[in-house]
Amino acid sequence: MRSYLAAALQMTSAPNLQKNLAQAEELIDLASRRGAELVTLPENFSFLGDEAAKVAQVAEIAEASEKFVKTMAQRYRVTLLGGGYPVPTAAGKVYNTALLVSAEGEILLRYKKVHLFDVNLPDGNRYQESETVLSGQQLPTVCHDDLLGTLGVSVCYDVRFPELYRHMAKQGAEVLMVPAAFTAYTGKDHWQILLQARAIENTCYVLAPAQTGFHNSLRQSHGHAMIIDPWGIVLADAEQTVGMAIAEIDPSRLAQVRQQMPSLQHRVFV
């Protein structure tokens, strides 16, 4: 592992596949021009805002999304995370799938979101992800990359389940990716503190690409795509505008924090 720049992109995706992919490419292009070698797209980067329309177009969305991630990674010579898109299943529902692809277009990781967001919020909004999504049944694996370090992937609501991240840390994770479309209501209180907790307790960098703003008349995302260092310090925050958080991933900083706070070595129950 060596030092490099990573980018957590922030989008306002809509129920329009082609419009979303065009927005995503603009941001990938910009991140590449700024020198990022690891670029991460948020959850639902290719389609967001209308569940019925998503299910009706799921085969097209899935095919276009995977092709897009592979093509963009090769075109811009970056390792690229497609942070979450629907993949149809035989049961008629979808898997919320994240895909990590190398600059050569090779699939490094494929992760199916495990924890599904079934919540009735006090602001009146109801989210029932399980109505259209099947839970993945496999714990996430990690990808060992000689240049970028050991990378782990999760998706959005997963961030509330620390055992998932400890599992990746036990596999040697150094960079944890948390692509999300966090709701505005929960995000204002929980988003940053949860990301910092996952970074601190696992002494890992955290990359959190995000959705922001309104996706239709009802659904609003919190924004604040972030990069956090292993001590829990926020290195970059995209606030609430379309754009990116970009920062250096520094192996010497990782080693320093893990030496100063060797909590992973002090685990009693493993």
Enzyme catalytic residues: 43, 113, 156
Contacts with 200 (C-beta within 8 Å, 6 or more apart), sequence order: 230, 231, 232
Pairing of strands 142-145, 94-101: unpaired
Q: CA-to-CA distance for 14 and 42, rounded, in angstroms?
A: 13
Q: CA-to-CA distance for 179 and 44, rounded, in angstroms?
A: 9
- How buried is residue 162: exposed, middle or buried, by Cβ count under 10 Å (0-12/13-18/19+)? middle
Contact yes or no for 159/194 (Cβ under 8 A):
yes
Q: CA-to-CA distance for 20 and 27, rounded, in angstroms?
A: 11
Q: CA-to-CA distance for 201 and 268, rounded, in angstroms?
A: 14
Written as one string, the DSSP assignment of 206-227 is EEE-EEEEESSSS-EEE---EE
Residue 256, phi then psi, degrees to nearest 5: -60, -50
Express the helix, strand and coil content of the chain in percent, nearest 5 each.
35, 30, 35
Tokens at 27, concatenated: 């941001």
Residues composing the chain = 270
Contact yes or no for 91/130 (Cβ under 8 A):
no
H/E element, 127 = strand 126-128
Contact yes or no for 197/165 (Cβ under 8 A):
no
